[in-house]
């Protein structure tokens, strides 16, 4: 019993209200998405029906073959069913739904993120909800583990291998250039170290891992976190529209997103917003990216402490323990599912085989994401971003812009095929 007790945080009760709030918000967001999607489908169907009816009429007049007639009739019935699903009648249109769902990409990701930001910043959100909201974000992690079902080893080798090269170049390129420039510009080591790691690897998560190593001051951490959140949010809401504007394929967007967006939770949200193929590519490259986290922390340690001889006398640094502590263990779960999916076991099925265990797991991932996105939206506070400033802001802006432009150039050069995940499609 005592051992079981240790599984729970002693003050777990304070997390319950906010977490329940995120659950309800996610439920409403998903249902609103479903509602808009149904009307969008009905609108598309309503627009197709007259043309199909005319085609049927012409076929009947010209005495077309029976099978083609039957196929057209079935198609008309299918479109009518989509219209009937929303209680519509012949001739009715729902252009607003097509605008929201198709053109504005107003899906559950946008609903939860924008809705969350509005609630957090413009409504009096009770403080009792804040602890629970903060633990809703990591719920994305089980969703990412489940996404392992979307891949087979050939994807990991092709897209993940390419991702590994891309992320190695971009992560270490960014970290080295930022840290070197910071030293040239006289930026304190504490700030340079966390900005190098934060802009290079995975935003705030990297700042949290690196700040104790490079001994950043609280004010430097506040500046750096504010800057990363500001540019991460800006990119989250602009990159999907830039991608659509320049006709970037989903796979290319996923790779660009995984290279350029500074904060990881926002990266996953932007990819899911863009489309399922974008998510598959982004998550795989991002897994490669976060594997570098311990190495970047180790690099910061060498760059600021060991190389310059600033190590405190008598203090022994255990590098292996450092790497072990900073390793994101949950990605082992992701690779386990990739492995099981690659075995193609009949007992486990697959994400597309209805009724199989893997199909059931795959159906759950969007719900994990929805709860996580509710947490992300409700955590984006303008007050936090206003803390961005000083030299951190200038460094963040340069790093974000350079990564965005260079990353776009690279994914355009690579093309779609090399970046597309095959496993689930």
Partner 1 sequence: MPFRILVCIDGEPHSKGAIQWAIQLGLSLPAGVTALHVIDPYLKKFYNELYSQGRKRYLEYVDERLQEGADKTHSEFTRMCQAAGLEAGFKLRHGEPLREILDELRQTSPDLLIVGGKSLNAWGRFRSRNLPLRLQKKAGVPILTHIAKQ
In the complex with partner 1, the residue whose CB is nearer, 152 or 388, is 388
Site string for partner 1, 365-394 (x = CB under 8 A): -------x----------x--xx-x-----
DSSP string, 154-216: HHIIIIIHHHHHHHHHHHHHHHHHHHHHHHHTT--HHHHHHHHHHHHTTHHHHHHHHHHHHT-
* Number of residues forming the site for partner 1 (CB under 8 A): 36
The nearer residue to partner 1, 147 or 204, going by C-beta atoms, is 204
Residue 218 sits in the site that holds partner 1 (CB under 8 A): yes
For partner 1, the binding residues in 150-209 under the rule CB under 8 A are: 202-205, 207-209
Binding mask 128-147 for partner 1 (x = CB under 8 A): --x---xx-xx-xx------
Q: Which is nearer to partner 1, 387 or 403 (CB)?
A: 387
Measure the CA–CA gap between 276 and 215, rounded to whole angstroms: 40
Is residue 248 a contact partner of residue 278, using CB atoms and an 8 Å limit?
A: no
Phi-psi region of 217 (alpha: psi -120 to 50; beta: other; left: phi over 0): beta
Nearest to 421 by CA among 167, 166, 162, 158: 158
Contact between residue 396 and residue 230 where contact means Cβ atoms under 8 Å apart = yes
Cβ at position 125, least distance to partner 1 in Å: 14
User: Toward partner 1, which CB reaches closer, 176 or 222?
Assistant: 222
Q: For residues 32-91, which are near partner 1 according to CB under 8 A?
A: none
Can you tell me the distance from the alpha carbon of 210 to that of 297, in angstroms, rounded to the nearest whole number? 6
Q: Interface with partner 1 includes 326 (CB under 8 A)?
A: yes
Q: Cβ atoms within 10 A of the Cβ of 99, count?
A: 14
Using the rule CB under 8 A, which residue among 98, 249, 264, 300 binds partner 1?
A: 264
Which residues, 6 or more positions from 36, have their beta carbon under 8 angstroms from its beta carbon?
97, 100, 101, 106, 107
Among positive and negative, which fits the CA dihedral 132, 138, 141, 144? positive
Q: How many Cβ atoms are within 10 Å of 413's Cβ, its own excluded?
A: 8
CB 365 within 8 A of CB 372: no
Binding pattern for the stretch 283-322 against partner 1, x by CB under 8 A and - elsewhere: -------x--xx----------------------------
Span interacting with partner 1, options 216-224, 300-308, 334-342, 397-405, rule CB under 8 A: 216-224
SS3 of residue 381 by DSSP: coil
252 scored as a contact of partner 1 (CB under 8 A): no
Candidate list 217, 238, 308, 344; residue touching partner 1; CB under 8 A: 217
We find the least distance from the C-beta atom of residue 139 to partner 1, in angstroms, to be 10
C-beta of 75 vs 130, nearer to partner 1: 130
Question: Please, what is the minimum distance in Å from the beta carbon of residue 354 to partner 1?
Answer: 31
Phi–psi pair at 37, nearest 5 degrees: -60, -40
Minimum CB separation of residue 424 from partner 1 in Å reads: 23
Sites of contact with partner 1 (CB under 8 A):
130, 134-135, 137-138, 140-141, 202-205, 207-209, 211-212, 217-218, 221-222, 225, 264-265, 268, 290, 293-294, 325-328, 372, 383, 386-387, 389
């Amino acid at each position: 019993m005592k051992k079981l007790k240790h599984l729970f945080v002693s003050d777990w009760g304070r997390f319950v209200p906010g977490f329940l709030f995120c659950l309800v918000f996610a439920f409403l967001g998903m249902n609103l998405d479903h509602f808009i999607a149904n009307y969008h489908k009905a609108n598309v169907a309503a627009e197709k029906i007259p043309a199909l009816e005319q085609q049927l009429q012409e076929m009947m007049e010209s005495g077309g073959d029976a099978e083609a007639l039957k196929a057209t009739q079935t198609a008309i019935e299918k479109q009518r069913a989509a219209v009937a699903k929303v209680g519509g009648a012949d001739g009715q249109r729902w252009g607003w739904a097509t605008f929201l769902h198709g053109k504005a990409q107003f899906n559950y990701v946008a609903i939860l993120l924008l809705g969350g930001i509005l609630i957090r910043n413009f409504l009096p959100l009770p403080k009792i909800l804040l602890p629970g909201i903060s633990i809703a974000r990591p719920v994305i992690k089980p969703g990412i583990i489940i996404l392992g079902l979307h891949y087979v080893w050939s994807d990991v080798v092709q897209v993940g291998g390419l991702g590994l090269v891309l992320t190695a170049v971009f992560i270490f390129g960014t970290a080295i250039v930022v840290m070197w420039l910071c030293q040239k510009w006289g930026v304190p080591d504490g700030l340079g170290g966390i900005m190098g790691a934060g802009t290079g690897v995975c935003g705030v998560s990297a700042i949290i891992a690196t700040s104790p190593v490079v001994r950043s001051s609280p004010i430097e951490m506040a500046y750096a976190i504010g800057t990363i959140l500001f540019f991460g949010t800006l990119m989250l809401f602009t990159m999907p529209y830039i991608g659509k504007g320049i006709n970037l394929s989903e796979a290319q967007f996923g790779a660009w997103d995984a290279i350029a967006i500074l904060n990881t939770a926002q990266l996953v949200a932007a990819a899911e917003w863009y489309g399922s193929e974008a998510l598959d590519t982004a998550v795989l490259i991002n897994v490669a990216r976060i594997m570098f986290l311990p190495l970047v922390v180790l690099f910061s340690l060498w760059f600021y402490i060991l190389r310059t001889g600033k190590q405190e006398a008598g203090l022994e640094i255990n590098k292996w323990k450092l790497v072990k502590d900073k390793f994101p263990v949950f990605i082992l779960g992701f690779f386990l599912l990739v492995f099981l999916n690659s075995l193609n076991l009949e007992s486990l099925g697959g994400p597309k085989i209805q009724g199989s265990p893997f199909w059931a797991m795959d159906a759950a991932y969007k719900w994990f994401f929805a709860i996580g996105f509710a947490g992300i939206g409700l955590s984006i506070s303008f007050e936090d971003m206003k803390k961005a400033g000083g030299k951190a802001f200038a460094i963040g802006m340069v790093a974000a812009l350079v990564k965005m432009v260079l990353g776009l150039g690279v994914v355009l050069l690579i093309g779609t095929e090399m970046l597309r995940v095959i496993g689930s499609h």
